[in-house]
Every structure is written in C-alpha cells, then in structure tokens.
Amino acid sequence: MNATLSTLTNAVHGRLIDTALADAALSEPSNPRHTLPLPSPAQLRQRLPCSPALHGQIAEQRDAIRAVLNGDDDRLLVIVGPCSLHDPDSAMEYAQLLAELAPQVSDQLLLMMRTYVEKPRTTVGWKGLMYDPHLDGTGDMAEGLALSRRLMLSVAELGLPVATELLQPMAAGYLDDLLGWAAIGARTSESQTHREMVSGLGLPVGFKNGTDGSISIASDAMRSAAHGHQHFGLDEQGRPAMVQTRGNSDTHLVLRGGNGGANYHPQAVAAARQMLVGQGLEARLVVDCSHANSGKNPLLQPEVLASVVEQRLAGDTSLRGVMLESHLFDGCQPLSGQLAYGVSITDACLGWNATEQALLRAAERLGGR
C-alpha cells in the first residue's frame, strides 16, 4: 500500500472508530456487564514457570501416552482423580497417594491424574477452581488461574502426568504446557470452537460422546481437529488474534454413556469401533467408567473397569484406556457450610481405598495375561 493510500485508510478507519466510540458512549447498554482485566497467558507462565526439566518430563509423558493410545504399548491408560479439585490440600494428598501407586502398577497401567479445574454444568452450578477459587461466587479468576497452574505444577512435580478438561478455549493457553492429556467434554465435543482449539494443541485429546449418547459428534470432532484451522483467539500476550493451526490427529473417542444408558459393553464398543474405522479413523477407545456408564453411582465404577479389562483380555485391543472419578473419600457433598475434607463438591466419586483396590486388581488381572 502506498503512503497516501495508507494515510487515507488510516484516516477512514480512525473516523469509523471515533464514530463507534461516540455511539458506544451515547448508547445505553441493554444488559450491562462488568469486566476485570486478567493477566495474559505469557504473564502467568512467567510468574509460574514450567522448568526445562519439567518441560522435558511432560514431553516424555506425552510420548508415553501416545504410545499407549496408538497401541504401540499394550498398557492401559488410566485417567483417575477427583471430579473437580476444590481444595489444594486434599488434591495434593490424593496426588501423593496416586504417585505412590503408579510405580507399583506401571507394568500394566499408565496412571495420570484428573486435575480438573473447569466444570461444564448442565444448567448452573460451581464452575471449578479456575472460575471461583474461594468457593463463594466471587469469581476471582485471576487467583483461580494462578491456583490452577500452581496445583498442576505441583502434581507434575510428583512425576504424574496431568489430565484435564479444556472447557474455555480462551483459558487453554494458561495451562496447556503442563498437560499430558486433555478431554473435550460431552457438552462441547460438537462445538466448532473446541475442535479449532484442539487442532492447535500438541498433546493427545479425547473427545467424549454427547450426553445423548451420540458418538458421531466425537468422530466428527476428531476429523475436524485433524485439519488446520484459522480461528479467532488470543495470542500469548492476551491480544485478540487470528490463530492459524496445523491440525491434531492425536485424538480418540471417550465412551461415557448417554441418556440411553451405558456404552462400554462389548456390543457398544464394537459399534463405536466400526463407526471410527468406517470414517477412516483409528479405533482408539477410552472408557469413562463414571457418568452415564455407571449411572452416576460412583461405587459401580470398578465393575465398569473390570468389564474393560475382561474385554481386553478377550482380545479387544481397541480399548486403550479408562477414566475414573475418584477422591479421598466416597460420595459428594453440597457446596454449603463446613465442607468435609477430601469429598467431591461436584459429581460423586469413588473413595481412594476402593480406587486403589480396583486398580491393583486390574493390574493383576492384566499381568496374568
């Protein structure tokens, strides 16, 4: 563009912006919103850095997870931990227990910790540590982001791969360098925005089937995420940006059951496998033992896990992983008054003792193959 044209263009844009600002100043907002600035991803990463040693560990863990998901390593991937983290002390006590168990079962199971700081809600409810770290509705997201990153760093420093659901695409850049694996939840697998985000991630990602049980939304998501996209997003400095991604084919389907019931039984697994292969996708399956696969009864998760183990032993090599919702103690509690330590404030979880027993049993059974 020559200098005169550029000056003219700037002058026109300048006038448009001035007019827009004047209009904005004059018009009454019909639904006023309050905003508070947040740090940029770069600022938070600088404040809570991932050391080169940790960075190397996470890269190795991603490769190990990929090897299991691709079937090059015949261990079972296990994504296990609280439905949501709401209290750093109980989260770290849980992480310690898991880190002690991991080497005991590592010949058969590759354990990673569910480190969930964002919760998708069916309607409304507490949306996770990242949104409301004080658990009081004040929405201190600056602290929520810092606390979430600090917790993930601490879990990773114990040597555990960190797994989380990425719900808000704008927030992924604050945490994604720390993750070994991520999920896109049942309520967002169909969302173009989430598929675009996944296409720019450098880690394995599981797309869950929809809450209605639809598995095709997840296979569509896998095909979309494998492509490069141009999308609206934020750069590292938090500025609005056109983001160009390269595509991510490191994805798989997570069977979590649906409104019609469970989908971990051999027939449902075979149908999922067939659909993926029919669409030219690799048959890589992870079974979520919780949610609709256990009818939301956390104590049934060991049964679902045992079924997956038996299906593998019977020769189903497409089943590559499982997910369990587990906390220090069984059940869940409402978010009000004095909270019991180590009990979920979102979905009901399986307590640690039963979780450990179920995982030891699975390892023993798989080890005897």
Ligand X SMILES: O=C[C@H](O)[C@H](O)COP(=O)(O)O
Task: Give rounded-to-5 percent helix, strand, coil for the chain.
Answer: 45, 15, 40
Q: To the nearest whole angstrom, how small is the minimum distance from the Cβ of residue 276 to ligand X? A: 24
Residue 186: contacted member of ligand PEP, ligand X, none (CB under 5 to 8 Å, by partner type): ligand PEP
If 0-12 CB within 10 Å is exposed, 13-18 middle and 19+ buried, where does residue 265 land? middle
Q: Is 125 in the site for ligand X (CB under 6 A)?
A: yes
Q: With helix as H, strand as E and coil as C, how does 190-225 read?
A: CCHHHHHHHHCCCCCEEEECCCCCCCHHHHHHHHHH
| Sole binder of ligand X in the list 13, 121, 150, 246 (CB under 6 A) | 121
Neighbouring residues of 96: CB distance < 8 A, sequence distance ≥ 6: 158
Indicate the residue whose CB is closest to ligand PEP: 185
Residue 15: contacted member of ligand PEP, ligand X, none (CB under 5 to 8 Å, by partner type): none
Residue 121: contacted member of ligand PEP, ligand X, none (CB under 5 to 8 Å, by partner type): ligand X
Mark 125-164 with x for binding to ligand PEP (rule: CB under 6 A) and - for no binding: ----------------------------------------
The residues in 340-359 that bind ligand PEP, with binding defined as CB under 6 A, are none
| CB distance 318 to 269 below 8 Å | yes
One-letter amino acid at 349 equals C
| Sole binder of ligand PEP in the list 75, 194, 291, 320 (CB under 6 A) | 291
- Select the span of 34-42, 119-127, 235-243, 351-359 touching ligand X (CB under 6 A): 119-127
| Sole binder of ligand PEP in the list 80, 83, 111, 281 (CB under 6 A) | 83
Mark 279-318 with x for binding to ligand X (rule: CB under 6 A) and - for no binding: ------------x---------------------------
| Integer angstrom CA distances of residue 165 from 32, 138, 194, 311, 326 | 30, 22, 11, 27, 15
Q: For residue 294, how far is the Cα from the chain centroid?
A: 20
Q: Is 334 in the site for ligand X (CB under 6 A)?
A: no
| Sole binder of ligand X in the list 2, 122, 336, 338 (CB under 6 A) | 122
Query: Two tokens at 285?
Result: 């399956």
